[in-house]
Structure 1
Amino acid sequence: MFPTYSLAERDRRWALARKLMRDQGVEALIAYGEHEAADLAPYAPDAYFTNDRPGAIVIFCRDADPVELVWSTLPIQDHIEARKRGDELWIEPRNIRVGRHAAGVIEVLREHGLEHAAVGVLGLDPYPPFHIVPIMPHVLWSQVLAELPTVTFKPVGLGYLLATACQSEEELEVVRYSAAAGDAMAAAMVEVAAPGVSETELYAAGMSAAFRLGCAAPDMLMWSGPGFISWGAPSWVYRPQAPRILEAGDVVMAEVFSRFGMKETQHQVAIAIGDAHPDVYAAAEIARRAYESGLEVARPGNTFGDLAEAMLGVLKEADSWNVHPMVHLMNPFGPVGGFGEGLKNVPEAQEYGRLFQLPTMGGQLPLLPGMTFSFEPNAVVGGRVVNLGGTVIIGEDRPIELNPSTARLIQV
């Protein structure tokens, strides 16, 4: 059974937008959305307010219904067909325009007499992990500023994060569905993992499982070998070369991204094929301890900084380090744990230019019921990383593990 959103969820979200406007002292809200078909961690506050095809600019003006500016006629054609099917849509046809550009934004603000108003903007704040520099295009925004010199534009990304990070019951149903699809992806990968199998077979098995469950935008980071500190997509995704063939003694480390209805869950799949190196098992034990330490802190009353430091503290005690964050917020993305400190001690790293350790960002965020986090503790021992974990919801009094099956090293 596929979960869906009701018009009550629409009304709740639009009420959040208007409350954000009041709290920030602005008369309008511009929500800039990343282009459609964005890959990992898409920036999509537009879709949050439209429940529609991402890649738009959505503008709330005072108490009026929002206006959606789309990039071409294609989203409008989709909207027409959805109406024919009887889909329950959130934006009225009269409020959808081809105009995802500076002129379109300027036109809407002028229509509502906002040439001298204060306007909140989503798209002018950093959005980790991938948009450390704000995503708003320079050419678009410089034209808006030039044409509306007496408007006071105000970044409101932090307020949006705080307003939307605690999921409603309808949203949590979508998150749970996505998490179940992620488990199916992991199980499909474990099923085919064996010596003589290509990395592409594991990749295909996981993706196929997601597609069958209606998760049309899954993705995956994956590496394999007897031991490594790499993290990212398999190199044959971006470099023309043959995929690895799995061997006995290999480990497969994958981060599986499942996305349903614009809600994302993440799943850390660690598979040992036969007898792995002892350092692999040692790293897995440290990562598991970090996972459990995080669960102890993942409760209302603590902060994200408390959570990140609890997990990082396990690494420090074990004289280990992490190649990527131990934990980060999802739906929307935001605070992220620090990583990369140990790379400076890797001999080969001395051959490279400046190395930079990413510090924990957003440590002051309070943990509140309904927030969703990717728990992805990883530990390096002897040049071998192990990564495990899954999606965790902050509950009223204790954390809710959605994916305990991927929170341990899986032996095949």
Structure 2
Amino acid sequence: MIIIKSASELELMRQANQIVGQVLQAVSRMVAPGVTTAQLDRAAEEMCRQMGCRPAFKGYNGYPFALCCSVNEEVVHGFPGERALREGDIISMDFGVIKDGFYGDSATTVAVGQVSPEARKLMDATRRALEAGIEQARPGNRLGDISAAVQRVAEEAGFSVVRQFVGHGIGRALHEEPQVPNYGAPGKGVKLKAGMVLAIEPMVNVGAYGVKILSDGWTAVTVDGKLSAHYEHTVAITEDGPRILSLP
């Protein structure tokens, strides 16, 4: 069942997502050669708790960290650790909080120092794919309009969109209906209505779209070892168009 949010619920969701956006902005500024992903995780959790909320991912289905840190060929759900970032890496960071009974969720990919032209192109295409998907999040459109827009931008840039992981509805639960694939046909799927809130999150690979899960049971990597990028925003569908709740 797709849950329609009231104006007061949307405001609570905005507050939760503002914290997510602020934390991601702060840890993004910390990214530099020599910084460990564990340091980023600790900083994100500390900021979250200082702002009066708790990290959404820590303990969720057994995930042991507050911040997902996925480096280079890691697509999503990467474990933070003592691995130090190196010049030329890219790191995707996914973060969520729970505040006043509602979830916030967002992700970004950050360059570590100077990166290759291919990495820059990938990050730019993934960000533009997210923007194209958000633009379609309007009452009267179909879910497939979001999916098709994301896929079109990514594939026109020469990249592939991950199929195994998708976006989702969000509210009092981290994952609500509907699922939001990053591929599909326009004009298909459920009709979008004001009050729906979606976490739209393209994951885009340089090579093949296939992924595999590492032995930790969580970290997803590209099957061919090539780079992947991930951007996400929580978006409310309103009569005035899409409203990005997680912009800091």
- TM-score of the aligned structures, taking structure 2 as reference length: 0.78
In the alignment, the residues of structure 2 paired with residue 217 and residue 292 of structure 1 have an alpha-carbon distance, to the nearest angstrom, of 26
In 2, the alpha carbon distance for the partners of 1:317 and 1:271 equals: 22
CA shift digits 1:111-145 (9 cap, x unpaired): xxxxxxxxxxxxxxxxxxxxxxxxxxxxxxxxxxx
Give the stretch that moved more between structures: 190-199 or 316-325: 316-325
Aligned pairs for 1:197-236 within 5 A: 197-219=35-57, 220-224=67-71, 227-234=72-79
Match of 2:223 in 1: none
Aligned twin of 1:26? none
Task: Return closer, same or farther for 1:244/1:290 CA change in 2, 3 Å cut-off.
Answer: same
Match of 1:109 in 2: none
1:364 to 1:178, Cα distance in 2 relative to 1, 3 A: same
Partner of 1:329: 169
User: What pairs with 1:182-261 in structure 2 (closer than 5 Å)?
Assistant: 182-219=20-57, 220-224=67-71, 227-234=72-79, 243-261=82-100
Residues 37, 82 of structure 2: 8 Å contact kept: yes
Aligned to 1:373: 198
Is contact 1:327–1:337 with CA below 8 Å preserved after alignment?
yes
Distance 1:216 1:231 in 2: 21
What SS does the corresponding residue of 1:170 show, helix, strand or coil? helix
Give TM-score, length-normalised by structure 1: 0.48
State the identity %.
26
Q: Deviations over 1:268-310 (max 9, x none)?
A: 1211111112221111121122122212211000121222122
1:286–1:369: structure 2 CA closer, same or farther, 3 Å change rule? same
Per the alignment, residue 41 of structure 1 pairs with none
Alignment correspondent of 1:124: none
Q: 2:6 aligns with which of 159, 168, 191?
A: 168
Amino acid at match of 1:373: L
Q: Highest CA radius of gyration, 1 or 2?
A: 1
Computed over aligned residues only, the root mean square deviation of the Cα atoms, in angstroms, reads: 2.3
Structure 1 outlier segments of 4+, above 4 Å: none
Alignment partner, residue 141 of structure 2: 302
Once the two structures are TM-superposed, the CA of residue 198 in structure 1 deviates from its matched residue by 1.4
**Once the 2 structures are TM-superposed, how far is the Cα of residue 171 of structure 1 from its aligned partner?**
0.9
User: CA, structure 1 residues 310+173, in 2 after alignment: closer, same or farther (shift >3 Å)?
Assistant: same
- Equivalenced residue count is 215
SS state at 2:177 partner: coil
Q: CA deviation at 1:317?
A: 2.8
Partner secondary structure for residue 335 of structure 1: strand
* Counterpart for residue 318 of structure 1: 157
Greater RCO structure (CA 8 Å; 6+ sep): 2
Unaligned runs of 5+ in 1: 1-160, 237-241, 342-358, 406-412
Which structure: greater strand fraction? Answer: 2
Aligned mate of 1:271, from 104, 110, 125? 110
Amino acid in structure 2 at the alignment position of 1:295: I
* 5+ long unaligned stretches in structure 2: 58-66, 208-225
C-alpha contact (below 8 Å) 2:134/2:200 kept by paired residues? no
